[in-house]
Amino acid sequence: MKIDNRAAPRLVARHYTAKVNATVPLQHRQLHERLVEIEETSRHNQILKERAERASGRVAELTENHLRRIGADLHDGPAQLMGLAALTVEHVRRAQTPAKREEELQLLNSVLSEALHDIRSMSKGLMLPEIEGLPLPEIIQRVVSNHERRTGTTVAVHCGDVSHPLTHAIKICTYRFLQEGLNNAFRHAGGNGQLVTCGLDDSVLNLVVQDDGRMGIEGPAALDSGLGLVGMRERVESLGGIFRLSHLTSGGTRVEMSVVVAEGSQDV
């Protein structure tokens, strides 16, 4: 049989063309799916960015209101007492008898003691301990221990292995979130069933504070140590995280924060 060598190139060309015709639509479909995925991710990131920007603005506003309240408290409390103390000093100078001088000195001591007590009470909830170099488990334990000592209640802690380095901003948010969440659990549920859970799911840090009290939270609480539930939400969302508040069927309350921990983030 005589083989036509000229047919071989045509057969190869037809095979190559058929293969290309089958591959191109597949590649187009895969490219389209990838573009859709990129667009969806971009929209999601834009939503998170806008949410963080709005939260940052609200945090600034809340902080300003908080500072105004502190200023008013200082003006109406310790400042007034110090003014009275200054007036009492003048009365001591003008005292005509030892008995009168002793009476004025006792009043001065009482006024100064009250002013010092007011200042200490106000500053107690404002000061943040040095936590920059602490890992998350130690931060949680510090907040829990302080709460238990102050309230005489017990807090159960269930945390997984969270050894990933966190930024200082996330550590501050975590500290205040726990502090205010536990304050709410004590104030509204009498400290019953206080539970703190935490874990790292891929690159997302999840932190929960809950109780099994029957009272629950009716609305934003004005906590002594911070800005209440509104402040908790804004702190979390300003970091691009998600804040959730839910009421349990048992009658308790659950507050949760979820925030992305960037790969390779370091304490700053």
CATH number at residue 194: 3.30.565.10
Confidence tier at 17 by pLDDT (50, 70, 90): low
What is the span of the domain harbouring residue 47? Answer: 1-62
* 69 belongs to a structural domain: no
Query: Tokens representing 91?
Result: 């009365």
Look at phi and psi of residue 9 and say left if phi exceeds 0, alpha if psi is from -120 to 50, else beta. Answer: alpha
Residues 166 and 222 in one domain: yes
* 101 belongs to a structural domain: yes
- Give the pLDDT mean for 47-71: 72
- DSSP assignment letter at 17: H
Q: What is the pLDDT of residue 18?
A: 63
Q: What is the pLDDT of residue 139?
A: 92
Structural domain total, the chain? 3
Residues 253 and 184 sit within 8 Å (Cβ to Cβ): yes
Residues 118 and 215 in one domain: no
Residues 83 and 179 in one domain: no
Residues 202 and 187 in one domain: yes
- β-bridge mates for residue 195, sequence order: 156, 210
Three-state secondary-structure class, residue 197: strand
Q: What is the pLDDT of residue 264?
A: 44
Radius of gyration of the chain (CA): 32
Residues 217 and 185 sit within 8 Å (Cβ to Cβ): no
Q: What is the pLDDT of residue 268?
A: 39
* 183 belongs to a structural domain: yes
Report which listed range, 5-9, 47-51, 235-239, is most confident: 235-239
Residues 38 and 115 in one domain: no
Residue 195 above 90 pLDDT?
yes
The pairing of strands 156-159 and 195-201 is parallel
Q: What is the pLDDT of residue 263?
A: 54
* 71 belongs to a structural domain: no
- DSSP assignment letter at 164: S
Residues 136 and 52 in one domain: no
- Give the pLDDT mean for 88-107: 86
Contacts of 154 (CB under 8 A, 6+ apart): 148, 191, 194
Residues 143 and 207 in one domain: yes
Average pLDDT value for the chain: 79
Residues 50 and 102 in one domain: no
Residues 158 and 244 in one domain: yes
Residues 144 and 219 in one domain: yes
Tokens 């639509």 locate to 25
* 138 belongs to a structural domain: yes
Sign of the alpha-carbon dihedral angle for 204, 61, 132, 154: negative
- Give the pLDDT mean for 39-57: 76
- Give the pLDDT mean for 6-17: 60
Q: What is the pLDDT of residue 133?
A: 84
Which residue did the predictor score with more confidence, 168 or 225?
A: 168
* 88 belongs to a structural domain: yes
- Range of lowest pLDDT (76-85, 100-109, 187-196, 243-252): 76-85
250 C-beta neighbours (distance < 10 Å), count: 12
Residue 144 above 80 pLDDT?
yes
Residue 255: closest CA among 231, 239, 238: 231
Which residue did the predictor score with more confidence, 19 or 116?
A: 116
Residues 42 and 83 in one domain: no
- DSSP assignment letter at 109: H
Residues 210 and 253 sit within 8 Å (Cβ to Cβ): yes
Residues 107 and 25 in one domain: no
Q: What is the pLDDT of residue 254?
A: 94
- Give the pLDDT mean for 178-204: 90
Cα 185–chain centre separation: 16
Q: What is the pLDDT of residue 221?
A: 39
Residues 86 and 93 sit within 8 Å (Cβ to Cβ): no
Which residue did the predictor score with more confidence, 197 or 84?
A: 197
pTM confidence score: 0.59
Query: Tokens representing 268?
Result: 């700053």
Q: What is the pLDDT of residue 82?
A: 83
* 235 belongs to a structural domain: yes
* 44 belongs to a structural domain: yes
Would you state the torsion angle of the CA atoms of residues 56, 59, 65, 66, taken in this order, to the nearest 10 degrees?
-140
- Give the pLDDT mean for 208-222: 64
Report the distance separating Cα 104 and Cα 97, nearest Å: 11
